[in-house]
Chain A
Amino acid sequence: MEIPHEVTPRRDTGLYNAKLGVWLFLASEVMLFGGLFSAYVFLRLGVQDGVDNPWPWGLNVHKGFVWLGFINTLVLIASSVGVVFAWVALKERNWRRFQIYMYGVVACALVFMGIKTVEYNSKLTKHHGIKLVDNSVMEGKILDNTDEIRFEAKSAAFGLQGSAPIFLNEIAEEDFPTFTVQSEEEGDPVQLTSRGEFKRWFVQRRREVASELADERKRYRSELAKGAAAPQPVSVNTSATVTSEEPFTVRANPRNTVTHSDSTINFRDGSKVEGVLTGDDVIFELHEVDMQLVLPTRQRDSILWDVVDDEGAKKMFFDAQTKWYNKMRDYYEARGETIPEKMLRGHKLNLQNVHVGGGHGGKDHGDEGAKGGADQHAAVHHSETNPSASGGGKGDYGSITVPREKIKFMGNHGPRYNNYYGIYFTMTALHGLHVVGGAIVLLYFVVFGKRIYKKNPEHLANRVEVGGLFWHFVDLIWIFLFPIMYLL
């Protein structure tokens, strides 16, 4: 079938159809990204005191990655230039040159996504933050999955309705104990030795309970119908308890729990394990302290300093803070003004570049004595402030023990971390998908385009022009994303 106006323009529009089509598509894309840019402005202008205030400074968030973002911008611009040159090569009927430029463009897309992967990986797996109950923030890395609650359990109680209890997934498969469950009827207790066995048993029991419940309701209704004034209420045991001879290890994700004590963990689905708590402290490799959300008057006795417990680090922090204050004061004094209160709460207190922690083998000059008894992680080391070493999360930091009751929130630097990361990941990931999609289309043109080129080179040129328009649009979005996410 011949599709009309692939090459020749339509008389009424003056355009070949694909071009009109792609511009309509780009118009809708402007709306899609426009909505997200608008959301970004909303979030940024609408920051609430003490919640997300101040909005993080892109430079402080990304640090070393600012350079990677810069390189990515150049890579995308280079690819945009490549696309127009590939198009011109087709117009000049030079297949060889078209191929070279187009493969270059696809290579640029791969480099872009590669850098993005490094960046995402660093944020999602290498960096964590802990917000303490007084809103002071520590940035660094949670070691050995210590955000989990470690527990030696003996028994578990759970409901027999709904889905399988959460605690089941918090037992490592190889540690799965032999559960004993007393059967309802007379007879030997049931032994459950694996997760699969447990689930099969659970499903079967759930079915039994459901039918018992139905029978009970039927009985109740029929007794009512017979005229009984107060029939025996519906009563079915819908819970079960399993026990284990040997204690079994539960490592509970705190987000799955409601509360926990020295002897119990209550999960959010109502299930409960009993036993002995072996540890709920978080071992944290401390990279940065951030007091932006703490009132200036409360900073010196913030509970953060109880947790860090290192005078050197504290001094370093306030020295750096004073330096920043002085810079600010100089700026305003030169204009005959005083520092506005808003600025005092804002970037002045931004000390994300101050690194508490230091080389284990180098120039330590702090108290190294163990502070947590036998805890090998208790000593905090610190070294000179070294902002340049911060981006890649290089090791050589001291680690501290953070008691769980002092933690308000902890997590990786994923979308959940705060509004900034939420909108950052939404926008850059959507943009990344566009890069991937565009690269696939352009790659298709160069790999499978020869046939069309032989038949009618102008047809392929038009296709490349249209694909190129999309590619330039993707570049255009990044031109705005780079400064607003990385620099401002």
Chain B
Amino acid sequence: MSEEAHDWGKHKKTYFIVGILLFIFTGITLALGLWAPLDMGPPGPTPADYVIGLLVASIKASLVALIFMHLNHEKGLIYKMLLFTFLFFVGLMVLTMFTQSDPIREQFDTLETTEGKLTEQ
């Protein structure tokens, strides 16, 4: 029993440190938004800002998932389940790439008329 009590003390220390880290990273997130020197690229939000902002958020999310949600030592079944969750989630995000393409227009681009490409008229 005494050995177990010691064990929990160590856990509590970890949880406390992770809590502090999360607070610090939240501060960093805010600073990235508000403090001009940390504003990457031209003024205002730019892709570089998104990447860094989401990176910090991902670090925070990983800390919560790994430590608070015990995903650093979990049974295999849960990892298998989460693998599928992850794949489907990636699928959802990949869908958004359709905003960058215009399949209908692309189809027209391949249709050539006697006076050149259809879309150039």
Taking a contact as CB atoms under 8 Å apart, the answer to whether B26 and A13 are in contact is no
Taking a contact as CB atoms under 8 Å apart, the answer to whether A80 and B33 are in contact is no
Known interface pairs A328-B42, A479-B57, A483-B56; A80-B64 also in contact (CB < 8 Å): yes
Within 8 A of B (CB), among A336-373: 343, 346-347, 350
Taking a contact as CB atoms under 8 Å apart, the answer to whether B81 and A27 are in contact is yes
Known interface pairs A20-B77, A38-B93, A77-B22; A483-B42 also in contact (CB < 8 Å): no
Taking a contact as CB atoms under 8 Å apart, the answer to whether B93 and A475 are in contact is no
Closest partner residue, chain A, to B19 (CB atom):
A81
Closest partner residue, chain A, to B89 (CB atom):
A34
Closest partner residue, chain B, to A84 (CB atom):
B15
Within 8 A of A (CB), among B65-118: 65, 68-69, 75-78, 81-82, 84-85, 88-89, 92-93, 95-96, 98-100
Taking a contact as CB atoms under 8 Å apart, the answer to whether A30 and B89 are in contact is yes
**Which residues in A have their C-beta under 8 angstroms from that of B84?**
27
* Majority DSSP secondary structure for residues of B touching A: helix
Interface size on B, residues (CB 8 A): 49
Taking a contact as CB atoms under 8 Å apart, the answer to whether A480 and B61 are in contact is yes
Q: State A23–B79 Cα separation when bound (angstroms).
A: 10
Closest partner residue, chain A, to B45 (CB atom):
A488
Q: State A41–B22 Cα separation when bound (angstroms).
A: 25
Closest partner residue, chain B, to A83 (CB atom):
B68
**Which residues in A have their C-beta under 8 angstroms from that of B92?**
31, 34-35, 37-38
**Which residues in A have their C-beta under 8 angstroms from that of B82?**
23, 27
**Which residues in B have their C-beta under 8 angstroms from that of A91?**
8
**Which residues in A have their C-beta under 8 angstroms from that of B26?**
70, 73-74, 77, 482
Within 8 A of A (CB), among B18-45: 18-19, 22-23, 26, 29-30, 32-34, 42-45
Partner of A482 from the list B29, B64, B68, B78 (CB cut-off 8 Å) is B29
Separation in Å of the B30 CB from the closest CB of chain A? 5
Q: State A88–B61 Cα separation when bound (angstroms).
A: 21
Known interface pairs A46-B99, A66-B33; A13-B75 also in contact (CB < 8 Å): yes
Separation in Å of the B115 CB from the closest CB of chain A? 28
**Which residues in B have their C-beta under 8 angstroms from that of A74?**
23, 26
Taking a contact as CB atoms under 8 Å apart, the answer to whether A479 and B15 are in contact is no
Q: State A19–B71 Cα separation when bound (angstroms).
A: 12
Q: State A35–B89 Cα separation when bound (angstroms).
A: 8
Partner of A88 from the list B11, B33, B53, B57 (CB cut-off 8 Å) is B11
4 nearest A-B pairs in the assembled complex, by CB-CB distance: A487-B33, A347-B44, A81-B19, A45-B99
